[in-house]
């Protein structure tokens, strides 16, 4: 079972700006890729050496520095010093339990998002992605290697498709965020499908595990919601912002992502409504079933109790029971029993139980 | 069963402005109708050739270009280039999973609405309608051919009834939106009627399918709500807007549609309340029914168990059971049984179970 | 059963400003009463001829024109032309499914309210009342003849009681709205009483019809709420308004009606809370009752099943059953049965079922 | 049972400013106490004669005029004329169904509060208190004699404790409101205690009356809430107000009462949450109990039905039933019955029913 | 059981500014620690004598005065006079039932927070901490000795780690608040774990105590929520404030704590959602269980009632019952019984009850 919250307590009591990584320790190496591009040229390289990041800082064009794996605080610290990143920002990057947020540090914008991905077993994995947007550079920090959502962007950069190479670092930020937000729709579709399957299961006849499945989906919806609401806030603030780091022509595009985030929120809210409904149907199905069981019991008992009673009466050992001596006594009693059964049947039919 | 969300995932990872149609592929041709009119003259023609749309752009008066069917992106692209429409707008037109919205691109206003229509089988169909409002033209994009809500407007244009020919492109936009919003009332009435029928069914005695029907109506209410809330936003923003594209005299009319949208929202909310109520009645009806079944069972068991016991006692084979030898033993026991039954009857009457 | 919404669909597709009456056609004549008054003089007359309304427009003082019955659009149209009323306003007056609203058309204020009245059979009837407030005239439109809430105002005008004759048309408007809002309290008291009666019924022991009654009251509360919320909006906007048509000295009085509307809303919300409570008690009463039925069944079954079993044992026909031969066998078995019953009784007493 | 709303309908149709008392007629006399004080001197007197109130109006210092009992409109009217109070204010004072509010009439501030008090029988009584705050006088109107919350203030005035004598009329107003609000905490404590008792009762085992008690407490919470929410509004507006009648040094103190009112609201909301919880526990307790009753029934039936059946088999009168002739037949059957019982016992143990 | 509210009523009727301690009287002495520091030097001392606090007031640098235990009002009063603290502030410090708040008294800022701590028995203890922030001093008041959350700060001051010694009194305030807020995460983790354990318990099969545990956790969540919401308010106002007492460089850090408070609120809300879910599962588990009990009962009754009836029939003592004389009668009847049982078995299998 997924943990509800991460073990942030490890950090309680430390001074602010302490760089402690609170996620799991994967042991994998940190991978840094550097892309320098402008409209006409592009150079791309991958490195493990943090010193590479400091070279050639002053060339024109845009530099995109993507760090995958953040479990080595010392690398972050070096990077932060080189690019002038505030210690609190570095702390937030490490602290992978952040909620999505946007902070304006004059020199740079700091954006934290949650990148969701569907795991092979169908569960949701959330990975924190942080962006530091400077005038001519963008640094992205990914928690791990779980997703490869940024690969299409890299491909587009190489092939010089669309506006990407012409835009600045802010347009690159937009493109990456768009890729992340677009992937939310994949997750929504997956959820929608599972809700539909569940709905059909509930109507067909719920089993023992149904309520656990409903609760599971509800839970995923709750978590999804928790990461989407602040996302909207971030995008809304980006879109409204007059920061010189975000240029006017990018704002139109940001408005587009912002609209998507609202659409995601509304869909998540619809999911919540649908799941409540499914639970209602489930509960009424249980109620109905109890009802049906009761009816069977009542019909059986109501038919056989009087019959058994009649049989009991003629099983009594009184010396003087005239009926016992009658020649047609036995058939007469059987007939009586038949009539009683028929009467009961008519009674139940009238009550619409049969 | 209607899909909750459309398969937008097809688009994940593509650069912004990629024109991909995510709706169903109908295979029907795209139909374009062009109406050029001013207060005194009107010319109307229908075409399949996109080139027709570019002709005669500079005549005075208003041009209304209505495109039915948007599954051919290349037509859209040509149109967009001719009328100066931003690629993001074109993308939104194609992307038929948009929520209603209003965007101001200085040169034009872009409006997305949902046009709902009742299908012959009683289900709701939603079709996306997009409008691009320029200074002297209005382009409308309909997803398909499902409804003909715009026909009365065309008729009014031809007959020069009302203010339509005297107004500008913004008044035409208002008239089309008014037609769409007015049709919502038809849907509300249909829903209201079905809720009332359901309510009577629940009070008369709910069947197995009732909960599915309640859930079905709830679902439609949820979807209706999802398209109406942003509609109000769009209309509210239009009404408040000082955009030179919307003239003052049209604003009064827009206020009217805006009021209608609020009324629709309130009615939808009332429907939600009513459906919750219906569910409450349904659940209490199930509870009551279980109760009644229980009572029948209890009455039967309570009457016959003692009787069967008495019969059992006199069915015992003890050698020395004096009652068995009495001459009036058998009638006396029958009398006893009768008295026990009467006692039980009185007990139940006192409890108001009979 | 009251219709949830009116058949507005009759109007779908018509051009804006089309005058179509969507209420029921009563067939009764339209009654117009005209009161011209100032501080010293008052003339009152009733007419069926619309032309009367146009006479003497320019005398000083205030003219109150009250039209009862709005099912003759042609009269409205003539009136509208004479007093300069916008076609959209006339459409709204006819369209008796409006929500309460306030519109400022510079020359006049247009106010729509719902006038509620208790019908002899205890149900609520809603009637739309529209006001057009000009600088020196007030035109009121009542849907029908159901209520006579305006009679006391007429009486006060005639008798020159209070400030009414000294105030302008805006004070007259206030007085009429005050009369309408005051009547809401009568309805609230009626509802409060019915809720209390219902509450006592539920606690004393709910019957089959109780849930229908709860639902009925809930429904009335929902409808009441739907007309009161926008009422507050209207009054709030009137009170804040600097329109030259509403004078400062009237605003103090409007604040008073505004306070009343808030009080009405809060009372309605309290009613909703109380009705939810009543439903909770009702449901727990059903649960308790099922419980009690079960107990009776269980007690009966638990006592008689063992006894019947014992009787059954000694009804077996084995050849060698020594007990059957004992002289005290029969009394011993009866004693055993008595002891078993007592044991069961003690068991139930310990469980507090008896 | 407390009435939900007062009979305001008595007033429907009367002109605004009509002085009609809608509370109960107690028949007790109206008591007026007058305190004139400044930092050095204090004179206090009690009177039944309204004329006394008009004397000595122009002395320096503060006059506090406290009227207990408002059922004599003519006294109010005389007072109102002497102190320049608007007829609408007088109407509101009489109308004891007001919601707490603050109105600024330039010459004076008008404040309406609800003074709650615990009656000896544990129920809540609400009394309306109105204040008219002038530049150098404060008039307070109490509905009846139920509480004596103002006595400590009188005592403090006499003993010249604290800042009271040094402050102006606004500080006196603050002190009286503080006394009223402080008493709310007494009521909250009483409610808290009753909720805790109820909670323990529900966990220990709910009785028949429990749901009525829950509903009773819920109801009191609803009423408490209804008077506290507007109270916060009043205090918030007082605290923010720049009216010359409220001096800056008093505002700090008002902020304090305002904080208290927020705290009261939050506590009331917590009570609502707790009571919902109690209801949940109650309902699940009923469910559990039904469950337990069912289990007993099922265990008894499941054990004795097979046994009775076996006994029945050997009670059959077939001529050729070899077992009946066996010498050990009877003990063997008893043994069989024992084994069946044991089997059932193991079955129930495995299901954890025993 | 924890008291819902403290006995504030002790204070009702007292003049404002009365210093009365409403918490429990621990009898422990009051401990005062004084730390005077600047970037280069630090002197620390602990005292019981209030006079120590007045010495050396005018040295440069920052003074941190920490008072643990506030049950001696006279000490507070002396301190208040020395540092110019308003009587209302002192009253609020003593009144340990305050909700978190921020008040700006020009000369100083007054902040009240709740410091939560986990007691050894797993329950939550809340302690009120008040701060008075002056230009160069910070006075902190702790209710008791329950927690030692401030020790790490003291340690950091001594060791001159981080920015603490370089910052002013406002940075010290931030550090202390950060320590308190960080500890909330420890509590959230504890709660999260308990919710998960409970969830598993409910799915595995709820016991009698489960609902009490759910209610217990719900209650803690309610209380947590009640102290966190105003905390966010306080931090939000601090972050936005332009008070000269809070310097710009500290605001960045305050924004960080503010973000944490939002995260805490969202987690608490998620907990509420999860607990509602757990309750839903619990209730459906009870429903399912009743269902299962019913099924067992019905299966047993439905199988044995017909069998017992058959046995009863052949236990009748009619003289002429041909079957009884048949040689194969007994085996035939046993076979019939077997067939009936099998038929029932097939019936139940078809209904999926077996």
Q: B: neighbours with 3+ CB pairs under 8 Å?
A: A, C
Q: Answer whether C152 sits within 8 Å of D307, measured CB to CB.
A: no
Contact C310, C340 (CB under 8 A): yes
Range scoring the smallest mean pLDDT among A234-238, C4-8, C175-179, E35-39: C4-8
Res C71: pLDDT: 80
Over 50: is that where the pLDDT of D1 sits? no
Within a domain: E6:
no
pLDDT grade, residue B1 (50/70/90)?
very low
List pLDDT tens digits, range B258-317. 888 888 888 888 888 888 888 888 888 887 788 888 888 888 888 888 888 888 888 888
pLDDT grade, residue D172 (50/70/90)?
very high
Which residues of D are less than 8 Å from C195 in CB distance?
4
List pLDDT tens digits, range C137-157. 999 998 875 557 888 888 888
Of B88, B304, B324, the CB nearest to A305: B304
Over 70: is that where the pLDDT of D22 sits? no
Within a domain: A119:
yes
Positive or negative torsion for Cα A284, A286, A289, A295 = negative
> Could you tell me which residues come within 8 angstroms of residue C306 by beta carbon, excluding any fewer than 6 positions away?
C340, C344, D300, D304
State the Rg of chain B over Cα: 34
Over 50: is that where the pLDDT of E1 sits? no
List pLDDT tens digits, range C189-246. 888 888 888 888 887 777 777 888 888 888 888 888 888 888 888 888 888 766 788 8
Over 90: is that where the pLDDT of D207 sits? no
pLDDT grade, residue B255 (50/70/90)?
confident
Q: Answer whether D9 sits within 8 Å of C189, measured CB to CB.
A: yes
Total number of domains constituting chain C: 2
Q: C: neighbours with 3+ CB pairs under 8 Å?
A: B, D
| C27/C71 Cα distance (integer angstroms) | 8
List pLDDT tens digits, range B59-68. 678 999 998 8
Over 70: is that where the pLDDT of B9 sits? no
Contact B14, A181 (CB under 8 A): no
Q: Looking at residue B243, which CATH number applies to its domain?
A: 3.30.460.20
List pLDDT tens digits, range E226-248. 888 888 888 888 887 667 888 88
pLDDT grade, residue D343 (50/70/90)?
very high
Res E299: pLDDT: 87
β-pair partners for A109: A104, A133
List pLDDT tens digits, range E76-121. 888 888 888 988 889 888 888 788 888 888 889 999 998 888 877 7
Give yes or no: residues C218 and C327 share one domain: no
Over 70: is that where the pLDDT of A12 sits? no
Count of H-run helices and E-run strands, chain C: 8, 7
**The two three-digit tokens of residue B214, written as one number:** 């309640």
Q: Answer whether B315 sits within 8 Å of A315, measured CB to CB.
A: yes
Res D120: pLDDT: 77
| C225/E230 Cα distance (integer angstroms) | 32
> Could you tell me which residues come within 8 angstroms of residue D54 by beta carbon, excluding any fewer than 6 positions away?
D82
Mean pLDDT of A304-325: 85
Within a domain: E54:
yes
Within a domain: B1:
no
List pLDDT tens digits, range B68-124. 888 888 888 888 888 889 888 898 888 887 888 888 888 899 999 988 888 777 778
Give yes or no: residues A312 and A209 share one domain: no
Res E2: pLDDT: 47
> Could you tell me which residues come within 8 angstroms of residue E350 by beta carbon, excluding any fewer than 6 positions away?
none
- For A271, nearest residue in chain B (alpha carbons): B4
Q: Render A177-200 in DSSP notation, one character per residue.
A: HHHHHHHHHHHHHHHHHHHHHHHH
Give yes or no: residues D40 and D173 share one domain: yes
Of C8, C294, C321, the CB nearest to B294: C294
* DSSP reduced 3-state for C141: strand
Mean pLDDT of E178-203: 87
Give yes or no: residues D211 and D84 share one domain: yes
Contact B267, B157 (CB under 8 A): no
Mean pLDDT of A96-123: 85
Size of interface A-B (CB pairs under 8 A): 166
Res D132: pLDDT: 94
* DSSP reduced 3-state for E181: helix
Q: Of A284, A307, A340, which marks where a domain is finished?
A: A284
Over 70: is that where the pLDDT of D113 sits? yes
Give yes or no: residues A296 and A263 share one domain: no
Q: What are phi and psi of B331, to 5 degrees?
A: -60, -35
Res A1: pLDDT: 37
Report the interhelical angle of A248-313 vs A210-240 (nearest 10°).
160
In angstroms, the separation between the Cα of residue D292 and the nearest Cα of chain E is 9
Q: Answer whether D309 sits within 8 Å of E312, measured CB to CB.
A: no
Give yes or no: residues A271 and A321 share one domain: no
Contact C138, C64 (CB under 8 A): yes
Percent of chain B surpassing pLDDT 90: 8
Contact B23, B93 (CB under 8 A): no
Res A39: pLDDT: 85
In angstroms, the separation between the Cα of residue B161 and the nearest Cα of chain C is 8
Mean model confidence pLDDT for chain B: 83
Within a domain: E11:
no
Contact E33, E46 (CB under 8 A): yes
Within a domain: A16:
no
Give yes or no: residues D125 and D222 share one domain: yes
pLDDT grade, residue A10 (50/70/90)?
low
Q: Looking at residue B302, which CATH number applies to its domain?
A: 1.20.58.340
Of A189, A283, A317, the CB nearest to B9: A189
Q: Of B235, B253, B284, which marks where a domain is finished?
A: B284
Percent of chain A surpassing pLDDT 90: 8
Which domain covers residue A303, as residue numbers?
Answer: 290-351
List pLDDT tens digits, range A210-231. 888 888 888 888 888 888 888 8
Within a domain: D139:
yes
State the Rg of chain D over Cα: 34
Q: A: neighbours with 3+ CB pairs under 8 Å?
A: B, E
Give yes or no: residues B42 and B159 share one domain: yes
> How many residues in chain C?
354
Buried b (16+ CB within 10 A) or exposed e, A15-37: bbebbebebeeeeeeeebbbbbb
List pLDDT tens digits, range A133-181. 998 899 999 987 555 788 888 888 888 877 888 888 999 999 999 989 9
Mean pLDDT of E193-213: 82
Q: With a cut of 0.90, is the ipTM above it? A: no
Contact C34, C44 (CB under 8 A): yes
Give yes or no: residues C58 and C200 share one domain: yes
List pLDDT tens digits, range C98-123. 888 888 888 899 999 988 888 777 77
In angstroms, the separation between the Cα of residue B191 and the nearest Cα of chain A is 18
Give yes or no: residues B134 and B197 share one domain: yes
pLDDT grade, residue E290 (50/70/90)?
confident
Q: Answer whether D301 sits within 8 Å of E300, measured CB to CB.
A: yes
Mean model confidence pLDDT for chain A: 83
Res C58: pLDDT: 56
List pLDDT tens digits, range A63-107. 999 988 888 888 888 888 888 898 889 988 888 878 888 888 888
| A123/A220 Cα distance (integer angstroms) | 9
Mean pLDDT of D155-171: 86
Within a domain: C185:
yes
Q: Of A253, A284, A315, which marks where a domain is finished?
A: A284
pLDDT grade, residue C1 (50/70/90)?
very low
Give yes or no: residues C237 and C142 share one domain: yes
pLDDT grade, residue E326 (50/70/90)?
confident
List pLDDT tens digits, range D228-257. 888 888 888 888 766 788 888 888 888 888
Give yes or no: residues E197 and E270 share one domain: yes
Residue A200 burial (C-beta neighbours within 10 Å; 0-12, 13-18, 19+): exposed
């Amino acid at each position: 079972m997924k943990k509800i919250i991460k073990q942030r307590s490890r950090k309680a009591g430390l001074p602010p700006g302490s760089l402690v990584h609170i996620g799991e320790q994967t042991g994998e190496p940190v991978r840094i890729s550097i892309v320098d591009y402008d409209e006409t040229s592009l150079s791309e390289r991958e490195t493990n050496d943090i010193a590479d990041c400091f070279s050639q800082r002053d060339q024109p064009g845009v530099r995109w520095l993507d760090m995958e794996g953040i479990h080595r605080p010392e690398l972050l610290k070096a990077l932060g010093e080189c690019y002038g990143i505030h210690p609190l920002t570095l702390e937030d990057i490490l602290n992978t339990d952040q909620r999505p947020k946007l902070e304006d540090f004059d020199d740079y914008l700091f954006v934290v998002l949650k990148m969701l991905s569907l795991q092979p077993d169908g569960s949701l994995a959330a990975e924190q992605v942080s962006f530091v947007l400077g005038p001519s550079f963008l640094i992205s920090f990914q928690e791990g290697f779980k997703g490869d959502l940024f690969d299409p962007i890299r491909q587009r950069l190489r092939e010089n498709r669309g506006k990407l190479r012409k835009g600045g670092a802010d347009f690159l930020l937009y493109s990456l965020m768009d890729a992340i937000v677009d992937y939310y729709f994949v997750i929504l579709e997956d959820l929608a499908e599972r809700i539909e399957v569940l709905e059909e299961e509930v109507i067909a006849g719920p089993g023992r595990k149904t309520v656990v499945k409903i609760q599971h989906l509800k839970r995923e919806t709750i978590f999804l919601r928790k990461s989407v609401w602040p996302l909207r806030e971030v995008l809304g603030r980006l879109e409204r912002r007059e920061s010189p780091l975000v240029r006017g022509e990018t704002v139109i595009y940001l408005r587009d992502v912002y609209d998507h985030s609202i659409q995601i929120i509304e869909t998540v809210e619809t999911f919540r409504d649908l799941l409540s409904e499914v639970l209602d149907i489930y509960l009424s199905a249980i109620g109905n079933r109890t009802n049906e069981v009761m009816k069977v019991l009542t019909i059986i008992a109501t038919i056989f109790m009087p019959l058994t009673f009649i049989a009991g009466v003629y099983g009594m050992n009184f010396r003087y029971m005239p009926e016992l001596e009658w020649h047609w006594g036995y058939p007469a009693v059987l007939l009586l029993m038949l009539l009683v059964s028929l009467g009961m049947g008519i009674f139940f039919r009238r009550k619409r139980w049969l």
